[in-house]
Structure 1
Amino acid sequence: MGGGELVVAVAGATGAVGREMLKTLEGRAFPATTVKALASSRSAGTTVPFAGGELIVEEMTEKSFEGVDIALFSAGGSTSKQFAPFAVKSGCVVIDNSSAWRMDPEVPLVVPEVNPEDVDWHKGIIANPNCSTIQMVVALKPLHDVGKIKRVIVSTYQAVSGTGQKAIAELETQVRQLFNSQEPDVKVYPHQIAFNCLPQIDVFSDGDYTFEEIKMIKETNKIMGDDSIKVTATTVRVPVFYGHSESVNIETEKKITAKEARAILSQAPGVVVYDNPAEKIYPMPLMAGGEDPVFVGRIREDNTIENGLHLWIVADNIRKGAALNAVQIAELLMERGQVRV
């Protein structure tokens, strides 16, 4: 740290998001002098690809963050709770991908296209929002700025990669088993996911909302900086490997026509409008895989209310929904002079 050198650590480097974080740091030419790959003792000594070579994975300990400027965490909530405070004490800024700190009033919850200024009040930890929340607010913020959103009704269609490598493997295995007339192994999810849809992500809580739905509701208000926006959500796991899709209905105070919405979103940072129903052009998870933007299509007016819009929003949940957003926050820290190098 200091002397113009910038040291970045990726905590949870062997997981799906951790690997994508390394790939994103490389792809965006993030100006790190040194990148460290950290994981559990089980993974220590293995390697992960980076910048045309490999990084040797180190065991994450309380002392791993000495001399580190920025740590990108994607190792689960309990690990973040355990190690992030040690990283902060070492003078490191933590960008955490778990849900551990998101609703802490002392911790900014940041989507760079929506609330970049919030990085300025961090106290050592910045939270990366839920993947499904990120892609939704990227599309909603420009519309909110014009018409002030009063209410959001969202139904999600979320890929298995949001659960991690074990879920990806389970979907692959179940498809193979079913094609071979075998009984599918069901371990990761409460029911078979192959050729099925599960209207449950995470466990049920108050009012029979799942924690995933509650995250979308609370995080949207915090990121948008407006508790008056009413949000309700139904989150569904679908048999897709990568890419979350969302059907979003919004009600605004000021009328926004579908044509105006397309124009607004076409100019919005991080958004690509892909919307021509006559030519069967609309966003799909297959096209979003490996891509940075949030894709928006099926933009149309809701004729049941005075000021309503329907949107279909798709993004790669591992990229914009996790790794890319975290790296963009790190870039913001650099731009706004929040890293001591």
Structure 2
Amino acid sequence: MQVCDRRWLLWCVSVLLLHGTSPVVAQHVKVLPDQGEAQALADQLLQGLAEQRALLKSGQFKLEGTIQPEWRAGLKPTVEFSCQAECYFADGFHQFRFDQRVSQIPLNLPQQKEPLVELSQYIRTPEFSIHTAGNNTDVRIFEPDHPSRETLLGPFDIRVVGLISGSELQTGMSASETRRSLSGVLESYRGYQLETVRLLEDRLYEVTWRFGKKAEFRLVLQIDAARGYAPVKLEYYHKRGQAKPFSDGRVCRVTVHWERKSQVWVPVSLQSESRQGTQRMELKFAWKSVNEQIPASVFTLDGLDLPEGRRLEDHHGNSGLLETSIIDHRDGKKTLIRGGDFRPDEE
């Protein structure tokens, strides 16, 4: 193929991506052989993805899902975690809240056994972050960039769904808020070594990158340009040894389904199978609002529905209520705002 032909081909594909014209020419394109043209198209796909995800400025959704941490194909797990959460975000994710309820369900014990339940809440604003534990009876206030407490499903940026593995999504912001944010994830992608760009079908593209110290990892991402450049399928591969092919070392597979709401494409379900932690995850997202105003009170301490306290016995064996404590750790201090006292039951 001559240089002018390749440039004409790339221009045609670019026009089809940007304007949504029926890809008559692009249907005959399988792989862009020229590395420079392939890199330009990959950059354009990532740019379209970034712009479409950035259209999601505020929202509220409910999440329901299951996580099987001991999952293996063909084997029945012994425990399953059921997760229900509600997430609020506003001002382009500068204000964020994630309320979570996790039930640990043993699968090899009688059904009448009560599952273990854990509640947690997390709020982040430009001024502070709020973290709860002990079923929301232990409340701590930190600086905005303080890592979230480790929970079954860490608070995560909904805009990175489909761009990271299920294990990374589960870790959420507890590992690194910057790295798990939309900008951080896209920055990682732009640092990868491009292998190929393929057109699979009508405006559905598959981009393959290599990364790692010895380029021992391969990432394959399918981007649907017809659905807001949505990442619909992600696979990681890890090559161990020179003789083994990448196909023998798939680490994870993530598939995501998308719907258009209020002129914005949002994820509605996710399925993930991973060898990292040998886990299986299924999540569903029920959107209550997209790009509508979220009350400012949602992102405040007073906006939390905190329990009165936690029932227990003191070291003398007296039963009572340990009041919910709220402690401010900012500026290197440890200030008790309220709570923390033990109130014995009246005799």
Larger helix proportion of the pair: 1
Instruction: Bin the TM-score by the shorter chain.
Output: under 0.3
TM-score, scaled relative to structure 2: 0.24
Larger strand proportion of the pair: 2
TM-score, scaled relative to structure 1: 0.25
Higher-Rg structure is: 2
